[in-house]
Structure 1
Amino acid sequence: MRKWKRVETADGPRFRSELEPPEALLLTNMVTSVLEMLDEREAEAPADELESLTGIRTGNPEPPEDATMSRLLPDFYRTDPPNGGDPDAHPADLTPQDFNAALRSMHEPDIIDAKRDAATTMRDSIPEGGGRLELTEQDAHAWAAAVNDVRLALGEMLQIGPEGLDLLPPDHPLAGHLDVYHWLTALQEYLVMCLMGKRA
């Protein structure tokens, strides 16, 4: 993939790059997998009898069992207070688990919608078979968000923690996936720099 190039036009900035055929196929497959995981998570939400009356959607109050989805939809409130904080000091006298459940129920549908919209924008703008890519500023922001979700999902599969993971032995079964992770990191970094008006 070529580095991103920002071009100013009469209709606003455009962000251009070019994908090789294998890159286009890889990105399409990965972002489609993320979309499928989001749809599956949404389908797991319990039915809300008041939704048809109030128009307010509610999400699944339970945290995801799948580790990858937990990475994409982490808890809102930490259950392990940092720096030895008071574990009994919760908002509205709720336990951390109850507070997280309430926040998930209220906000998860909108978060899933935002992630789905970004992933769909990315998938639909990938040139089939590779080729030239030109994004509006709004679509470029969607790409940055969607690539981040793809990276998080792949990072969970590779068990990449806060310290990162630079190298794997060449004969490791996941060695190729780590190369993809680093490629996604560069793709996202260069796009964000381009959005900020900086040279990659």
Structure 2
Amino acid sequence: MRGFRRKGANYEASFAPEEARLIVQLTGQIGAMLAEPAANDAALKRLLPDAYRDDPEAAEEFRRFTAESLAERKGRNGQTVAASLADAAAATSATKVVLDEQQAQAWIRAVSDIRLTIASRIGIERDDDRPNPDEPLGDIYDWLAFVQESLVVAMQGRL
């Protein structure tokens, strides 16, 4: 993968087919998890955290009014990412992916959701926690950090 760079009003990166397929698969898994939420899923709790940590009743009331629409927005972000990677996922060699500003915003959010989910699965609780070197998902977590950072830097106009 070649990280994101600003090209005019857009952002471009190059993804190998297997990289694109991996991200498409992960966005699909997040979408499925949000569509069919499992009780007590730690990843889901990180994606849809309580608004009021010290007041469970208020948190539940807030969740009742917001969780569905938030989950739908997160699902749409993932769909935007998957759609933008469709050609790269079907290719036989590295393929350029071009994002407009709205797509780039969806990417930032969706990749963050994927990383939060992976973090909850491999025991990363704080920003300074590192994945176990023997954990294969740790490599994906770190690679997605690169993807996300390259897009953030490009959006800030530094690349």
TM-score (norm 1): 0.72
More relative contact order, 1 or 2 (CA 8 Å, 6+ apart) = 2
Partner of 1:182: 142
Map 1:12-161 → 2, pairs under 5 A: 13-41=9-37, 64-79=39-54, 96-126=55-85, 127-130=88-91, 131-161=95-125
What do the CA deviations read for 1:118-171 (whole angstroms, capped 9, x no partner)?
Answer: 1110011112235110011100110010000000011111110115333534xx
Q: Cα offset for 1:102?
A: 0.6
Alignment partners' CA distance in 2, 1:77 and 1:112:
18
Alignment partners' CA distance in 2, 1:165 and 1:22:
27
Return closer, same or farther for 1:134/1:188 CA change in 2, 3 Å cut-off.
same
Q: Which runs of 5+ in 2 are unaligned?
A: none
> Segments of 4+ in structure 1 off by > 6 A?
none
2:130 corresponds, among 159, 166, 170, to 166
SS in structure 1 of the partner of residue 20 of structure 2? helix
Rg larger in structure: 1
Instruction: Give 1 or 2: higher helix fraction.
Output: 2
> What amino acid is the match of 1:182?
D
How big is the alpha-carbon RMSD for the aligned residues of Structure 1 and Structure 2? 1.5
Q: Which runs of 5+ in 1 are unaligned?
A: 45-63, 80-95
Q: Cα offset for 1:117?
A: 1.1
Alignment partners' CA distance in 2, 1:114 and 1:198:
28
Partner of 2:153: 193
CA contact (8 A) 2:44 2:117 kept: yes
